[in-house]
Amino acid sequence: MYGIFPYKLGTSITFGHKYMHYKGIWEARLAGTARARRTASKVMHRRNRAQASEANNQARAEAESRSFIQELGRIFTALKSISESCALTTPFAGDAFAALQADGSVRTWGAPELGGDASRNFALSPLLGLRWYEVQEVCASSGAFAALRADGCVVCWGSPDSGGDPPESGGDPAEAELAVAGEAFAAVRHDGTVVAWGDADSGGDTSKVKSQLFDIQEVASACDAFAAVRADGRAVSWGDACRGGDHSPVDGQLLDVKALRASATAFAALRLDGHVVCWGEAARGGDSSKVHEQLHEIQDLYASAGAFVAIREDGTLVTWGSPACGGALVTIPRKTTEQCLRGSWIYGIGYEEG
């Protein structure tokens, strides 16, 4: 099945492994010949040194983190900043690929039922030549792809159970935001409403919270659930109840929310008063009771696949969640924080916050 519907996307959160290569290097890896390698070397030398240095640093960071992100498969890429590059996306299941090339075209291969053969979806359509122009980004669920075109339309293909068959478009085809959970996609329309498709248990069905999904400003996604913040500061979630899709236990606390973060199976909401509210799987950050007394005057939040870290106004860090995912330290003293974090960044492996 396939579908095209006009949602112009803004920030997107992507499931699926995304790899960036210079065109020459990618050709060399595919061909495996000495000639291709020489061509790749020449291409590299022609790059502006500053640009190449930046790209190499990013590629190195991706390579170092890739082994730690298999559970969710989200990797940051900067396709638009590097010419003659391509980005590869594969579903969480890992059996198909989609390559977004610098000219805006897309090529797919792998398991047809997971989106590896786009021609299988589009070959009989007279609009085939119009579907693939100026693609800006490709996102992947566990078994389907969604491609964002420059004209604001989204093309979906792959398994219908994983979001390969979108709903009827309708509505205002203006700016929106796209989010991806394990087997579902969700898009925020220009009027602030939300449309979701794919597996219902992964968040593809918003019927239980439809009346609460209006004036949406931000959407975050876990493995099988979504959470959204409205303009009035209220937060709402849907999807797998055990993985963050049920916010009812903390509904009364989800007021004046200014930011959302997601681990694999839990959410954390930062309020305007500096307090943090968590829900979802306790072992992966859904329970912050052990550090409750430290969770005040919080300035920002970060997430890994199974833990959260909060930065307080006095510079201290507070962590909770799975010890294997970075939630082992309860607090980090201010002195240590100042020594370690001066001039540094904090990254949550497995997530990109767009």
- Which CATH number belongs to the domain containing residue 310 in this structure? 2.130.10.30
Residues whose CB falls within 8 Å of the CB of residue 71, separated by 6 or more in sequence, listed in order: 223, 264, 305, 350
**266 found inside a domain:** yes
Is 87 in a helix, a strand, or coil?
strand
Two tokens, residue 79 = 């396709």
What is the reported pLDDT for 339? 42
Angle (nearest 5°) at CA 65 between 118 and 226: 60
Residue 214 has a CB neighbour count (10 Å cut-off) of: 15
Q: Is the pLDDT of residue 296 over 70?
A: yes
Amino acid present at 199? D
Host domain of residue 251: 225-354
**287 found inside a domain:** yes
**28 found inside a domain:** no
Q: Residues 286-305: what's their mean pLDDT?
A: 93
**341 found inside a domain:** yes
Q: What is the DSSP string of 309-325?
A: EEEETTS-EEEEE-GGG
Residues whose CB falls within 8 Å of the CB of residue 184, separated by 6 or more in sequence, listed in order: 141, 162, 163, 196, 197, 198, 199, 200, 202, 203, 204, 224, 226, 239
User: Measuring CA to CA, how many Å separate 262 from each of 71, 181, 221?
Assistant: 13, 11, 6
End-to-end CA distance of the chain: 29
User: Measuring CA to CA, how many Å separate 120 from each of 2, 85, 88, 114, 248?
Assistant: 10, 26, 19, 11, 42
Contact at 8 Å (CB) between 347 and 64? no
What is the reported pLDDT for 160? 86
Higher pLDDT, 66 or 176: 176
What percent of the chain is predicted at pLDDT more than 90? 35
Per the structure, how many domains does the chain have?
A: 1
Task: Identify the bridge partners of residue 311 per DSSP, sorted by sequence position.
Answer: 300, 317
Per-residue pLDDT tens over the stretch 9-50: 333 333 333 333 333 323 222 333 333 333 333 334 444 444
> Mean pLDDT lowest for which of 73-82, 157-166, 248-257?
73-82
Residues 134, 138: Cα–Cα separation, whole Å:
11
Residues 103, 87: Cα–Cα separation, whole Å:
12
**279 found inside a domain:** yes
Side-by-side strand order, sheet with 144-149: 2-5, 154-158, 144-149, 135-140
Two tokens, residue 51 = 């640009």
What is the reported pLDDT for 169? 55
Query: pTM higher than 0.85, yes or no?
Result: no
Residues 138, 147: Cα–Cα separation, whole Å:
4
**174 found inside a domain:** no
> Mean pLDDT lowest for which of 182-191, 276-285, 301-310?
182-191
Signed CA dihedral, 188, 193, 198, 202: sign only? positive
> Based on C-alpha coordinates, what's the Rg of the chain?
21
Q: Is the pLDDT of residue 141 over 50?
A: yes
**207 found inside a domain:** no
**329 found inside a domain:** yes
What is the reported pLDDT for 279? 98
